[in-house]
Amino acid sequence: MKVLVKTALATLCLSAGTAWSAPITFNTALPVHEGGWVLREQFMYMKIADDPTPAQRDMRVSGVMSVLGYGVTSDFALFGMLPLFNKRIDISMGRQDITRRKSGVGDLTLLGRYTAYQYDAPGRTLRIAPFLGVKAPTGEDNARDGMGRLPPPVQPGSGSWDVLGGAVLTYQTLDFEIDSQVSYKANREANGFQAGNVASLDTSLQYRLWPRSLGAGVPAFLYGVLEANLVHSARNRSGGADDPNSGGTTLFITPGLQYVTQKWIVEAGVQIPVSQDLNGTALKNDYVFTTGFRVNF
């Protein structure tokens, strides 16, 4: 679940009149032009079904993440992110198979990003941008079914006010772009449950596959993307006590493709966990598929 939230922070920055690539799973330091808007719609499907227990837990999460960004100045941009979730978990209890599910709007995240350092040279640029945000409990967090209150991972919202922050570095040339990000999300308690805090280290390489040589005008571009995400989650707390079967460290590798024009990007990628060191019987990720588009106007 933390991966899905993290993927939402992959904020969409296209400069006016210029075609930029960008990371698929996290942030970039490239600007939103002053007075400009950027819209991103992203579909995600997550399978979490590697269960070491006899319960054979199988969780599926699909969602649409809507992100709207606004360039307040050439250096400062604001973003709002709102997900729509469809969550389902199947559990085997003895000879009985149980399904619990819920759909709904999730929690709203508001984020500000400021370009603190910028170096421009012919054909290249380097930018460093810290960001700070808050997640508001706009999603339903007390949903129930015939068995009672749904467990926290199936609720559309968390019920808590959380804060997040970090910094992203972007180095861009005419042929490729490298992005790197560090981030931290501090989760608070709600309804007797507190999700573990999350620390992440991300990197992305976007390399122009086509056209191989640049000519006159601004054509469309096809980029190959390769990203790595190292995510560490602290243990959840329930009823004031740590949950020994939660939290841990996961390394994802994400291959992907982006088709970039002056005004829009179409992209797709698959996050694959290559290493998962989780606590106790915590449910492991199988994969996260992401596809969507970004438009600036």
Predicted confidence (pLDDT) at residue 14 exceeds the cutoff of 60: no
Confirm whether pTM is higher than 0.85: yes
What pLDDT is stored for residue 173 in this prediction? 94
What pLDDT is stored for residue 6 in this prediction? 45
Predicted confidence (pLDDT) at residue 7 exceeds the cutoff of 60: no
What pLDDT is stored for residue 94 in this prediction? 80
Predicted confidence (pLDDT) at residue 12 exceeds the cutoff of 70: no
What pLDDT is stored for residue 163 in this prediction? 98
Predicted confidence (pLDDT) at residue 2 exceeds the cutoff of 60: no
Residue 117: CB atoms within 10 A of its CB come to 12
Alpha helices in 41-143 (DSSP H): none
Residue 164 bridge partners (DSSP): 133, 185
Q: Where are the beta strands (DSSP E) in the chain?
A: 37-48, 58-71, 76-93, 96-105, 108-114, 117-121, 124-136, 144-145, 148-149, 162-173, 176-186, 193-194, 198-210, 221-233, 237-238, 241-242, 248-260, 264-278, 287-296
**Which residue's structure tokens are 């210029």?**
18
213-233 core/surface letters (b: 16 or more CB in 10 A; e: else): eeeeeeeebebbbebbbebbb
Predicted confidence (pLDDT) at residue 216 exceeds the cutoff of 80: no
Average pLDDT of the chain is 92
Distance separating alpha carbons of residues 165 and 184, to the nearest angstrom: 6
What pLDDT is stored for residue 16 in this prediction? 36
Single out the residue of 87, 51, 58, 63 nearest to residue 4, CA to CA: 63
From 26-35, 151-160, 279-288, the region with the lowest mean pLDDT: 26-35
Q: In the structure, what pLDDT confidence band is assigned to residue 212 with cuts at 50, 70 and 90?
A: confident
Distance separating alpha carbons of residues 206 and 185, to the nearest angstrom: 26
Kindly report, residue by residue over 174-191, the tens digit of the pLDDT. 899 999 999 999 999 999
Report, as an integer, the average pLDDT of 8-29: 62
Alpha helices in 59-173 (DSSP H): none
- Using DSSP bridges, classify how beta strands 176-186 and 148-149 pair: parallel, antiparallel or unpaired: unpaired
Please give the domain boundaries of the chain with CATH numbers for all domains.
2-296 (2.40.160.40)
Q: Tell me the CA distances in angstroms from 186 to 150, 162, 219, 231, one per residue in order.
A: 23, 6, 42, 14
180-211 core/surface letters (b: 16 or more CB in 10 A; e: else): bbebebebeebeebbbbbbbbbbbbbbebeee
Residues of the chain above pLDDT 90, percent: 83
Kindly report, residue by residue over 148-164, the tens digit of the pLDDT. 999 999 999 999 999 99
Give 15 or 53, the one with higher predicted confidence. Answer: 53
Kindly report, residue by residue over 72-87, the tens digit of the pLDDT. 999 999 999 999 999 9
Report, as an integer, the average pLDDT of 77-103: 95
Report, as an integer, the average pLDDT of 266-289: 97
Predicted confidence (pLDDT) at residue 214 exceeds the cutoff of 80: no
Asked whether 10 and 247 are in contact (CB, 8 A), the reply is no
Predicted confidence (pLDDT) at residue 225 exceeds the cutoff of 50: yes
What pLDDT is stored for residue 15 in this prediction? 39
